[in-house]
Every structure is written in C-alpha cells, then in structure tokens.
Amino acid sequence: MNYFNRLVLSFVPLIPRIFVRRIAGKYVAGETKEEALATVKSLNDQGFSATIDILGEHVKSAERATEVTQSYAQLFNEIQKRNLDCNVSIKPTHVGMELSEHLFAENLSLLLAKAKEHDNFLRIDMENSPYTDLTIAAYQSCLTTYQKVGTVFQAYLHRTEKDLLQLFSPHFNFRLCKGIYREDPNIAIQERREISNNFLNLIRIAFKNECYVGIATHDLALLDNIYQLIDEMQIHSSKFEFQVLYGVPMSGWLEKHLEKGYKVRVYVPFGPEWYDYSIRRLKENPNIVGYVMGNFFHKK
Ligand SMILES: Cc1cc2nc3c(=O)[nH]c(=O)nc-3n(C[C@H](O)[C@H](O)[C@H](O)COP(=O)(O)OP(=O)(O)OC[C@H]3O[C@@H](n4cnc5c(N)ncnc54)[C@H](O)[C@@H]3O)c2cc1C
C-alpha cells in the first residue's frame, strides 16, 4: 500500500457523510427495495444473475431480527413476482444469530420455507470467526429440509480445507471468497499471495469433488489462474459461477466471463445502513477516494 493510501485510511473516520454517500452510490443499489429490484432487473437485462442483500448485521433486538427476516421474505415474493434471476444472501447476525438460538432457527426456517415456496436459493454469508461453527451448523440443519441452500467459506482461514472436505456431497453449493474480516494469525493466513494460493488450491479441491462453487473474487491475476484451471481440469460451466460485488471495476472481465458462457452473479446490497458498508469498501480500496473526488468536483 502506498503512502497516499495509508494516509487516506487514517482519515477514513473523518470523511464527511455526504462524501461517503457519493461512494455508496457506486456500491449500494439504493436505500429501498424498489431501487434494489430495479438494479437487479437492469443487471439481468445485461446477462448477469444477482443475489440481493439487505445491509446490516449484529441486530440488537429480536423485533429488529424479525423485521429483517420479514423484509427478506418479501424480497423472495417480489423476485418471483417480477420473474428476476436473483437469489438472496443473508448475514446470520442480521437475523438474530447473536441474540438467541431459538430466534435464529425460527427466522432461518421461515426464510428457507420462502425459498422453497418460490423454488429459489438462500445463501448464508460467512461473518467473522466467532460465527464460523454456528454458521456451518445452521447450514447443515437447513440442508435436512431444503437442498437449495448454501453458505460461504473464506480462503484466509486455515480450517477451510478441512471444513470443505467434511461437507462435500452432490448437493454441496458454496461461495469461496478471500475473507473480509481481520482475523488472528493463529487462525488465518495474513499474506495476500498466500491467501490467493490457498484460494486456487480450494477451487481445485472443489472442482475435483464435483460440487458447485461460486467463485467470488475481483483479483484479476487469480481469475487468470482459475481460467487455466478450468481448462486444465476441463470443468463444465454448469459446476461454477463467478461472483462479484456490485460496482467493483473488473476491467472487462465480466464481459469476458459472459462471452465464455460462464455465469456471473452480482451481489447487490441495499438499505438505509449504507454508511458502514461504504466505509468498508473504502478501507479495502483507498484509490476510490481519488476517483470519487474527481467525479464529485467535476459534477459540481
Ligand atoms: C460476491 C461476494 C460475496 C462475498 N461474501 C463474503 C462473505 O460472506 N464473507 C466474507 O468474509 N467476505 C465476503 N466477500 C468479500 C471477500 O472476502 C473479499 O474481502 C473481497 O472480495 C476482496 O477480495 P478479492 O478476492 O476481490 O481480492 P483483492 O485482492 O482484495 O482485490 C482485488 C482487486 O479488487 C479491488 N477490490 C476488491 N474488493 C473491492 C471492493 N469491495 N471495492 C473496491 N475495490 C475492490 C482491489 O482494490 C484490488 O485491486 C465477498 C466478496 C464477493 C465478491
């Protein structure tokens, strides 16, 4: 990371809200369900699949967790009604995992029933390491009632290979990402190149085990290696999809995926809680400040 970026990072908490809102505009599909669904429709029209996420996590009350669950249930209805190519991604602590086992199980089973009602798919995102075991257990319990459900594994965790080897089955569908949280060196790889190497290794293992994998990365060098692996192992395009976050520049790779006949799913976050999400995006890529500043002053 260069000096300017380090400097930007240290000032992130001081960036004015209006400026962060500018950034959010690029990475968040609005504050309302209508805006998000319109974004999904436009992505579908361009040939992309989508997964929709209501921004937020770590809810503090059962009422709020239930409200969020109801909003997700309505999203499933709207996706069906509008005939969109879109599934749903939830964060466990957004629907009550931290508050009570019973509440979380109840909310999850409601969402699973909704997914089943509409023959849709539910993805359970992976949060930081205190929730890894609980999330895997929740996923396994969902599988006993409905198969179109999946969770996420993080390439930076040392445990991931072992977790995957225990879970492989004909219906196993997972998203692989590098992992976004700060984790202790005891449990997580810290070096970027090593994380990428492990990512590639885990994709190889997934391909070998013939499950379905959502390859979630914007790392173009890694994508190059994954393309080679697909060719080398002659993996059919029905066994994987590429996934990206809405708004992250991909230098023509999304079009390249589509031309190859590969499925691309865009993760579309929305909701009033855009602030924290945008700050996270900014911390991941301080170069954004430069681009946004350019647009900001240009438009004024
Ligand atoms: C569809 C999807 C779902 C995800 N779900 C989870 C999850 O459930 N749990 C979890 O821990 N993590 C999740 N992540 C985040 C992931 O773990 C990484 O933190 C993130 O994708 C950055 O890693 P990268 O593989 O893109 O590579 P990097 O090497 O970090 O990035 C590659 C390039 O893309 C740029 N870039 C990457 N991310 C962004 C961004 N957000 N904004 C702007 N530029 C960016 C970087 O500047 C860099 O140039 C998800 C990511 C995606 C794409």
Q: If you write DSSP's letter for every residue of 235-289 in order, what string do you get?
A: --GGGEEEEEETT---TTHHHHHHHTT--EEEEEEESS-HHHHHHHHHHH-THHH
How many Cβ atoms sit within 10 Å of the Cβ of residue 171?
12
3-state secondary structure of 3: helix
Domains of the chain, CATH where assigned: 29-111+118-191+198-270 (3.20.20.220)
Q: For residue 18, what pLDDT is reported?
A: 77
How many Cβ atoms sit within 10 Å of the Cβ of residue 165?
10
> b/e map of 40-49 (b: 16 or more CB within 10 Å)?
beebbeeebb
Q: What is the DSSP letter of 144?
A: T
Q: Per-block average pLDDT, block size 10, for the chain (300 residues)?
A: 62 72 81 96 98 95 98 98 98 97 97 98 97 97 96 98 94 95 95 98 97 97 98 98 95 97 97 80 63 43
Q: For residue 7, what pLDDT is reported?
A: 62
Distance 280 CA to ligand 1 centre (A): 10
| Amino acid at site 158 | H
Active site residue 175: yes
Q: For residue 20, what pLDDT is reported?
A: 75
- Of ligand 1's atoms, which has the minimum distance to the CA of residue 217? 25
Q: For residue 280, what pLDDT is reported?
A: 72
Distance 96 CA to ligand 1 centre (A): 25
**Among the options 175, 192, 193, 204, which is catalytic?**
175
Q: For residue 296, what pLDDT is reported?
A: 41
Distance 3 CA to ligand 1 centre (A): 22
Q: For residue 3, what pLDDT is reported?
A: 62
Residues with CB under 6 A from ligand 1: 125-126, 152, 154, 175, 177-181, 216-219, 243-245, 248, 267, 281, 284-285
Active site residue 125: yes
3-state secondary structure of 86: strand
- Of ligand 1's atoms, which has the minimum distance to the CA of residue 125? 8
What predicted TM-score, i.e. pTM, was given to this entire model? 0.91
Q: For residue 279, what pLDDT is reported?
A: 76
Choice from 174, 245, 278, 283 to test ligand 1 binding pocket (greatest atom count within 8 A of CB): 245
Distance 117 CA to ligand 1 centre (A): 31
**Among the options 125, 163, 182, 280, which is catalytic?**
125
Q: For residue 272, what pLDDT is reported?
A: 87
Q: For residue 178, what pLDDT is reported?
A: 97
Q: For residue 27, what pLDDT is reported?
A: 86
Distance 127 CA to ligand 1 centre (A): 13
> b/e map of 92-126 (b: 16 or more CB within 10 Å)?
bbbbbbbbeeebbebbbebbbebbbeeebbbbbbb
Burial of 274 (0-12, 13-18, 19+ CB in 10 A): buried
